Amino acid sequence: MKVITQIIFFLAVIFSMYMRAEAAGEKILFIPVDDRPVTFKQTVEVLEQAGCEMITPPAEYLRRDDGGKSLEKLLAWLEENSSSVDAAVISADAILYGGLIPSRKHYFDAEVLYSRIEKIVQLHEKNPKLKIYVLSSVMRAPHEGTVGSVEEPEYYAYYGARIFKYTSLLVKEKFSGLMSGERAELERLRGIIPVAFIDDWLARRRKNLDATEKLIDLANEGVINYLIVGRDDHWTYSQTQSESIELSNYAQATGTKNFQLISGIDEFGLLLLARAVNELRGNHPKVFVEYNKGVGAEIVPAYSDETVAVAIESELKIAGGSVVDNPATADFILLVNTDPEGKTYHSHNAFPSTRENLDYDAYTPRDGTEFFANLVESYVNKNFDVAVADITFANGADNPMMNLLRERNLLFKLHAYAGWNTPNNSLGFAIGTGILAKNISRDAKDKLLLTRYLDDWAYQANVRTTVGDWIFYNVAGGAQFYSNFGGKNAEIESRITALMNEFADKNLRPYKKFPPFVVNSAWNRMFEVDIVFLE
């Protein structure tokens, strides 16, 4: 009897090991929106730590500055690598235009774009069982341009604010009508903006809109299992809002169900990958959400036109999860650090960071700071898995709150954390990581947390401002090198690396041993960095 019991136990162990191996063996092809660390490398790291085998293209196929020359290589790579995977998560902006930024400046004919969309159809025809998930975007409409920026057509640096205002008035005229003063302003702008510029800008947007409608058709036909279209940085009465309404109406008219159109873009890769994993594993994660004191769920944060609560429900839907009203029934707790008065602060990266440019003291605790730290501590002490979405500030962590978490030894007791870019970006990254973290070891979670703390807290909320000021006041040529390092990369990267290590020594090393690291300028500018661990 004892021998039989031992055999049964042994078989049970083997079966359990087999099932875990099977559950963690998904092979997923991923083409991100571009090669920025957070949309590509850092997203892939989360999936790999969750046990997935990730198939990704060479980073050079996603370059933003080659005018789409690598597109044919990317499309060929897609065809060659899609036959043996369980799921594919594909950025339409990448396979149509070469990436998010090229989508705003391309000169491809509509027929060329349609031929690239056909690649998705061919993918489905060759492998009907392959689950295909696609993320796309409605082109953003920045409220102004920046000299030296590579993100928009060159003329936008000089006419961007006028183009934005002009098209916003056109949208308002369409939906709600104009007052006499606004009509006069519309006519004034019509006479100022060169016709060639506005025609170019609107024609490119029309092609993007038509291409997106074809993607909606594919979702309706079942070629695409799930389609997400993001409203990239946008505002009320913007061209982006108008086009979003047009797409929403089109999807509704065609009866498309497996489709969402929401604010955001950079976080969608991770959310769709989480959905792919959940569908392959048969999971439906449940999340309990709680906010900082004050306005909380009803906040409409910067770069969005919907409340935080709506954004969370939408992003959870993308990932295949849902909100529950009882923490005891949840897979994890999502705690959202919002400002009690509903503001989104931008003070981390004012340029240069003179006091008059700062909209708040970014280093002094505010109303709600201790309340939120207490909330985190309470759930951690009750042994709940806790993910923190830090969205009080755009582009960076909330310093006073993070200091409290550090002082209370909570930083490396979290399930997940994000506070890196727009509020919706951070929400999505916290949700996506939180959902996948149930299959990630404690050591691997700590490594992912470390990357977020170095990027979101050390760099975005502190070092970026310090080095930006140094560039402005001490580097010959000043401001131009903030957006484009030119030949100053080594000098700037060295300073960033030194300050990042100094910050880590003070704030992070007491809690977890980790290897040394250096920092590279991912896109030759101050906006983002690539943290490279020297293992």
Segment 250-265 shows an average pLDDT of 94
Q: Is the pLDDT of residue 24 over 60?
A: no
* Residues 68, 84: Cα–Cα separation, whole Å: 27
Task: Tell me, yes or no, whether 78 and 97 share the same domain.
Answer: yes
* Residues 11, 474: Cα–Cα separation, whole Å: 68
DSSP symbol at 104:
G
CATH number of the domain enclosing 216: 3.40.50
Band (pLDDT 50/70/90 cuts) for residue 353 is low
Task: Write out the H or E segment, with its range, that includes residue 319.
Answer: helix 308-319
Q: Total domain count for the chain?
A: 2
Task: Tell me, yes or no, whether 229 and 103 share the same domain.
Answer: yes
Domain assignment present for 488? no
Task: Tell me, yes or no, whether 424 and 307 share the same domain.
Answer: yes
Helix, strand, coil content of the chain in percent (nearest 5): 55, 10, 35
* Residues 174, 450: Cα–Cα separation, whole Å: 48
3-class secondary structure, 87: strand
pLDDT tens-digit series, residues 489-508: 899 999 999 999 999 999 99
pLDDT of residue 315: 97
Of the three residues 451, 474, 497, the one that is the final residue of a domain is 474
* Residues 287, 387: Cα–Cα separation, whole Å: 10
Task: Tell me, yes or no, whether 230 and 372 share the same domain.
Answer: no
CA atoms within 13 A of residue 278's CA, in its CB half-sphere: 25
- Report residue 229: phi and psi, to 5°: -115, 120
* Residues 333, 335: Cα–Cα separation, whole Å: 6
337 near 372, Cβ under 8 Å? yes
Domain that holds residue 404: 286-474
Of the three residues 474, 490, 515, the one that is the final residue of a domain is 474
Q: Is the pLDDT of residue 383 over 80?
A: yes
pLDDT tens-digit series, residues 307-345: 999 999 999 999 999 999 999 999 999 999 999 999 998
pLDDT tens-digit series, residues 203-227: 999 999 999 999 999 999 999 999 9
Say what percent of the chain tops pLDDT 70.
Answer: 91
Q: Which of 60, 375, 28, 54 is nearest to 225 (CA)?
A: 28
Q: Which two tokens stand for residue 33?
A: 């929106």
Task: Tell me, yes or no, whether 408 and 316 share the same domain.
Answer: yes
* Residues 485, 471: Cα–Cα separation, whole Å: 10
Helices (H), 84-155: 92-97, 110-126
320 near 278, Cβ under 8 Å? yes
Task: Tell me, yes or no, whether 219 and 275 share the same domain.
Answer: yes
Domain assignment present for 195? no
Q: Is the pLDDT of residue 137 over 90?
A: yes
Domain assignment present for 358? yes
Of the three residues 448, 474, 500, the one that is the final residue of a domain is 474
Angle between helix axes 464-474 and 489-507 (nearest 10 degrees) is 140
* Residues 287, 17: Cα–Cα separation, whole Å: 27
Domain assignment present for 408? yes
63 Cβ contact partners less than 8 Å away, ≥ 6 residues apart: 35, 70, 98, 99
pLDDT of residue 75: 95
Amino acid identity of residue 523, one-letter, is W
pLDDT tens-digit series, residues 81-135: 998 999 999 999 999 999 999 999 999 999 999 999 999 999 999 999 999 999 9
Task: Tell me, yes or no, whether 319 and 226 share the same domain.
Answer: no
Domain assignment present for 369? yes
245 Cβ contact partners less than 8 Å away, ≥ 6 residues apart: none
Segment 426-449 shows an average pLDDT of 96
Domain assignment present for 264? yes
Task: Tell me, yes or no, whether 124 and 254 share the same domain.
Answer: yes
Task: Tell me, yes or no, whether 238 and 373 share the same domain.
Answer: no
* Mean pLDDT of all residues belonging to the chain: 90
Domain assignment present for 333? yes
Q: Is the pLDDT of residue 287 over 80?
A: yes
Domain assignment present for 322? yes
Task: Tell me, yes or no, whether 342 and 450 share the same domain.
Answer: yes
Task: Tell me, yes or no, whether 258 and 368 share the same domain.
Answer: no
Q: Which two tokens stand for residue 171?
A: 């949208």
27 Cβ contact partners less than 8 Å away, ≥ 6 residues apart: 52, 53, 55, 84, 85, 86
Q: Is the pLDDT of residue 5 over 80?
A: no
Task: Tell me, yes or no, whether 275 and 227 share the same domain.
Answer: yes
